[in-house]
Amino acid sequence: MWPDKEAEIDYLNFGYMVDMVADIATNRDLSPSTIGLYGDWGSGKSSLMKLAQKKIEGKNPVNKKEKDKVKTLCIEFNGWLFESYEDTKTSLCGAILDALADEERFSKEVTDYAKELIKKIDFKKILGKGLKYGLDFFLTGGIGTLTDLALSNVLTSIKTNAGEVDAKEIEEILGKFKKEENTRTEIKNFREEFKELLKKSKVENVVVFIDELDRCLPDTVLEVFEAMRLFLFVEGMSFVIGADERLIQYSIKSKYKEIPGNNLDVGKEYLEKVIQYPLHIPQLTRTEVNQYLACLLLKQSLTEEQFNRILEVVYSLKPDQDLTMELLSEKLSDISERCKNDMALARQISSVLAPCINGNPRQCKRFLNTLYMRLDLAKARNVTLDKNTLAKLMLAEYFNPEFFKAVTKPENREIFKTFERGEELNDENPFAAWKDKDWVKNWMMNGTNLGEEDLGKYVYFADVKNRYGQSNLDQLSPSARKCYECLVDGTESNRNNALKLVDSLAPGEKAIIASEVFTVIESSSTMNVAILRSYTDFCVKASMIEEALKKLMELPASRYTAVAYGQLSPFISKLSTEEAKKFNDYLSTNAEVKKTIERHAQLESIIPSKR
């Protein structure tokens, strides 16, 4: 299976965006800079950042042996991990300073300076109650200018953002900024000290990758922006932020109320002030979904060298150019045959999956993980599932549950076969309503036929709710259910009718019928010899003699009677000599049955058996 984390291999051919991020982040002329990688959850933001970091570090490797010669320092920060543990501004600044205080990378002068600066980053204390009331005024100058403004100049603006706060309390907060020399010095001088630290370290670029910001609470989001702009926005610094743009704007709007009578979009304007270089990750097209699924599957099947050759082909593709077997046969004829099954499965899944997941790579990976989990679960229960059949059913289960129910409903088995063969359907056929839907057309065209499959075992491992009250009999087709009912009726005529249906049943249905008929025998207080005969005759007809013998020997010998043995005679005649002896020896532990067996033996010695 595949881990749900950022990838270090570019399966999506995003190299052009990786290059863009790396170039901006390491361009000294553009620093300080902030790059926004925008996309939905699961769109590949984290993977793109990981690839960009790998690209940057590959160009400028960290040399731990030559201290103070680190050209580019990459730092990862996940605001979501620090949320609720400590002040996020402190955490972000601390993560950066900790990296610069690494004694393996930097000289003692640099690390000592960094450690001293770390002691000064209790910004929660510095800002006091300011953060609580949203006193970060990017739209009116920011906290960085707060100490240079007169109290009367900002009071009105503060009331706009924190109108529920008492004016006197606001004055006290601002008074604290004006009166405490230490606080003013910390805010005003930190940036200069941080600049000096970078100068001492001789690092040309510090690139901070901030991930999972869109999962954080609004206060956390704004704290990260405050730390970036107020304390860390100096030459040589670059921030790469991966987030869903809509959620970040929502966080800003939830913190800062819109100004009545003003057309200003606070969320949009604020974010534009913070993010200088926005880069939107495109949703995957159908061809890209196919390419991504194929890469995931082939990575598991091929050797590293072979898969790297596949990647070379992938990276040569133009936008919307499909990864096909024809292309692989042309470019990689020596290994293309090994790719056939995975390529076919990727094509089968992508044809239906792509329109339903809005081009989201994570959903592709989750689908494949669920597919392989079910295969493994079934294997653990000694059940073999066909991968392509399971994939086709899962597509219906995930994206069209009502259609999935119709397909897997036992009583619909015969009419589904008609539908699958493309025959004309009358209006009473429940599949008539589905035949013209594009989604179903794509689903039907993927080349895997389900009509002859025993779908019950696939449904067992599906995400089916409300199984309570259901039985195995609910999985039977109408003809299989009729066969069962005729067998348990016990009359000879109905038994014969049931045996005529056996050849038309799926293997899974035969197993269910045998099991359920035997359950009736087990549940009876006295041996029902008519149903016993139905059970053994069915198992002989269904080629399940070995299974039947095992079950019959699980019943206590005391349950059998002389009459029951008479009904078992046709079944025993089908056993091998060794099996027949074993079964008779077991039944002979019952004194009544033993006498019957001995009489049969005497008769056979007079009239030899034709077995």
* CATH code where residue 97 lies: 3.40.50.300
In order of 234, 241, 420, the CA distances from 49 in angstroms are 22, 9, 45
pLDDT for 146: 39
Burial of 441 per CB tally in 10 Å (0-12, 13-18, 19+): exposed
pLDDT for 251: 82
**Mean of pLDDT values over 536-558:** 93
Q: Is residue 180 part of a domain?
A: no
H or E element: which one contains 606?
Answer: helix 591-606
Which one-letter amino acid corresponds to residue 199? K
Q: Does 312 lie in the same domain as 273?
A: no
pLDDT for 500: 93
pLDDT for 547: 92
Q: SS3 sequence, 65-102?
A: CCCCCCCEEEEEEEHHHHCCCCCHHHHHHHHHHHHHCC
pLDDT for 140: 40
**Mean of pLDDT values over 551-565:** 91
pLDDT for 277: 94
pLDDT in tens, 70-124: 688 999 988 777 665 556 777 888 888 999 998 888 889 999 998 888 877 654 4
pLDDT for 513: 92
pLDDT for 143: 39
Cα-Cα end-to-end distance for the chain: 53
Helix (H, G, I), strand (E, B) or coil at 143: helix
When pLDDT is cut at 50, 70 and 90, the band that residue 403 belongs to is confident
Q: How large a percentage of the chain has pLDDT more than 90?
A: 36
pLDDT for 189: 76
DSSP state of 232: I
Q: Is residue 447 part of a domain?
A: no
Count of helix runs (H) and strand runs (E) in the chain: 30, 5
In order of 356, 390, 398, 508, the CA distances from 373 in angstroms are 21, 11, 15, 22
Q: Is residue 109 part of a domain?
A: yes
- Looking at 280, 295, 325, which one is the last position of a domain? 280
Over the chain, what is the mean pLDDT? 81
Q: Is residue 4 part of a domain?
A: no
User: Which one has a higher pLDDT value, 510 or 320?
Assistant: 510
Q: Does 268 lie in the same domain as 385?
A: no
Torsion of CA 246, 288, 209, 252, to 10 degrees: 0
Gap between the Cα atoms of 142 and 156, Å rounded: 15
Q: Is residue 385 part of a domain?
A: yes
C-alpha Rg value of the chain to the nearest Å:
37
Q: Is residue 70 part of a domain?
A: yes
- Looking at 226, 254, 280, which one is the last position of a domain? 280
Q: Does 113 lie in the same domain as 241?
A: yes
pLDDT for 128: 43
**Mean of pLDDT values over 485-496:** 91
When pLDDT is cut at 50, 70 and 90, the band that residue 546 belongs to is very high
Q: Token match 């991020």: residue? A: 21
Q: Does 290 lie in the same domain as 435?
A: yes
- Please spell the DSSP secondary structure of 422-444, one letter per residue: T----TTSTTTTTTT-HHHHHHH
H or E element: which one contains 514?
Answer: helix 507-523
Q: Does 489 lie in the same domain as 520?
A: yes
pLDDT for 17: 93
Torsion of CA 330, 332, 338, 339, to 10 degrees: -70
Q: Is residue 466 part of a domain?
A: no
Q: Does 320 lie in the same domain as 295?
A: yes
- Looking at 280, 308, 339, which one is the last position of a domain? 280
Q: Does 209 lie in the same domain as 115?
A: yes
Please determine, for residue 267, whether its predicted confidence score (pLDDT) is greater than 60. yes
User: Which one has a higher pLDDT value, 191 or 262?
Assistant: 191
Q: Token match 């086709």: residue? A: 392
**Mean of pLDDT values over 463-485:** 72
pLDDT for 129: 40
pLDDT in tens, 151-179: 444 455 555 554 445 556 556 655 554 54
Q: Does 407 lie in the same domain as 341?
A: yes
**Mean of pLDDT values over 141-153:** 42
Full domain range(s) for residue 317 = 286-413+424-439
Q: How many domains does the chain have?
A: 3
Q: Is residue 167 part of a domain?
A: no
**Mean of pLDDT values over 125-145:** 41
pLDDT for 464: 62
Gap between the Cα atoms of 542 and 544, Å rounded: 5
Gap between the Cα atoms of 300 and 302, Å rounded: 6
pLDDT for 608: 55
Please determine, for residue 466, whether its predicted confidence score (pLDDT) is greater than 50. no
Contact 559, 591 (CB under 8 A): no
Q: Which of 17-21, 298-302, 449-453 has the lowest mean pLDDT?
A: 449-453
The top-scoring range by mean pLDDT among 222-236, 411-425, 489-503 is 489-503
pLDDT in tens, 169-208: 556 655 554 544 555 556 567 888 888 998 898 888 999 9
Helix (H, G, I), strand (E, B) or coil at 33: strand
Gap between the Cα atoms of 354 and 255, Å rounded: 37
Q: How large a percentage of the chain has pLDDT more than 70?
A: 82
pTM reported for the whole predicted model = 0.65
Peptide linkage before 260 cis (omega within 30 of 0): no
pLDDT for 212: 85
Q: Does 290 lie in the same domain as 404?
A: yes
Which one-letter amino acid corresponds to residue 118? I
Contact 541, 499 (CB under 8 A): yes
Q: Does 407 lie in the same domain as 517?
A: no
Helices within 9-150 (DSSP H only): 15-25, 45-59, 79-82, 88-100, 108-118, 123-127
The top-scoring range by mean pLDDT among 134-143, 369-378, 465-474 is 369-378
pLDDT for 483: 93
Contact 527, 560 (CB under 8 A): yes
pLDDT for 65: 54
Q: Does 255 lie in the same domain as 296?
A: no
Q: Does 275 lie in the same domain as 291?
A: no
Which residue in 121, 72, 115, 69 sits closest to 92, CA to CA? 121
pLDDT for 126: 44
Please determine, for residue 133, whether its predicted confidence score (pLDDT) is greater than 50. no
When pLDDT is cut at 50, 70 and 90, the band that residue 214 belongs to is confident
